[in-house]
Amino acid sequence: MAKIEFRNVVKRFGAVEVIPDMNLVIEDGEFVALLGPSGCGKSTSLFMLAGIYLPSGGELLFDGHVVNEVEARDRNVGIVFQSYALYPHMSVRDNILFPLRFKKTPRDEALAKVKAAADLVRVAELLDRRPGELSGGQQQRVALARALVKEPQLLLLDEPLSNLDASLRLSMRTEIKSLHQQLGVTTVLVTHDQVEATTMADRIICMRAGRIEQVGRRTTSTSGLRACSSPASSARRPSTSLPVKPRAARSRSTAPGFRSRARRGR
């Protein structure tokens, strides 16, 4: 698990400054949502955490260590993309196995971890299929299993539910939330859906034009998230910060193969 910190982080693409000066601490085991309109920099922030984008300035820290120059594969971060990004020519088993190749995990151990991750998200019966033979919801679960198989210290979810129909989205919200409670992994969810943010995350970071405009928490009503509620009305509003104490990780039983972070005395 990791405590995450953005310290004066800047991101520019050429001359365009997308993130001017981001400061945010995400506590070990916390579930945070980055909420905001299209183009406000949510995915850019997430991709910097993943090591896909390099910050143009400032520091990104995992557990107090600067990771700006650390390769994506060395960060032990699991990511689920909006499009799922599964490899179409590979079986579900090989898709989930893929991140372990970089870790040079022995084959038997890797297959046991795949089975544990597949059990956790209930796709164990689909391991021999290819992604094209799965429904959207099943593909989303496989993408989650692939992100979880290496027991990441940080789980990043970029609009993972947006391709699902309304009822599946509802049930997956609950499932992802209970997975987080079970594993205790520090999680960052990107969404533009206020209800999704407030029902899943402990803390909601409202972003606009690359800046954090408001910090709310799960108990904040959606109408209380003023900075996220109306693009026109909130653009010039000063930032508001609600005092937030991250929830303690819960102790619960964990699927075989997954050590409960809650029980490791964080």
Ligand X SMILES: Nc1ncnc2c1ncn2[C@@H]1O[C@H](COP(=O)(O)OP(=O)(O)OP(=O)(O)O)[C@@H](O)[C@H]1O
Please, which residue, 121 or 206, has the CB nearer to ligand X?
A: 206
Please, which residue, 15 or 166, has the CB nearer to ligand X?
A: 15
**Cα–Cα distance measured from residue 78 to residue 116, given in angstroms and rounded to the nearest whole number:** 16
Decide the pairing of beta strands 203-208 and 186-191: unpaired
Residues numbered 175-234 forming contacts with Mg ion, rule: CB under 5 A: none
Please, which residue, 40 or 121, has the CB nearer to Mg ion?
A: 40
Q: How far is the CB of 197 from Mg ion (least distance, A)?
A: 14
Q: How far is the CB of 16 from ligand X (least distance, A)?
A: 6
Residues numbered 18-47 forming contacts with Mg ion, rule: CB under 5 A: 43
Residues numbered 89-108 forming contacts with Mg ion, rule: CB under 5 A: none
- The half-sphere exposure of 211 on its side-chain side, counting CA atoms within 13 A, is 12
Please, which residue, 56 or 181, has the CB nearer to ligand X?
A: 56
Show the DSSP H helices in 58-135 as ranges: 92-101, 107-120
Q: How far is the CB of 160 from Mg ion (least distance, A)?
A: 11
Please, which residue, 154 or 189, has the CB nearer to Mg ion?
A: 189
Q: What would the two tokens of residue 261 be?
A: 């972070």
Q: How far is the CB of 126 from ligand X (least distance, A)?
A: 28
Q: Which long-range CB contacts under 8 A does 15-24 form with residues at least 24 apart? A: 17/210, 18/44, 18/210, 19/44, 19/45, 19/210, 20/210, 20/211, 21/58, 21/211, 22/58, 22/210, 22/211, 22/212, 23/212, 24/205, 24/212
Phi/psi zone of residue 235: left (φ > 0), alpha (ψ -120 to 50 degrees), beta? alpha
Interaction site with ligand X (CB under 6 A): 13, 18, 36, 38-44, 192
Q: How far is the CB of 104 from ligand X (least distance, A)?
A: 31
User: Contact residues for Mg ion (CB under 5 A)?
Assistant: 43
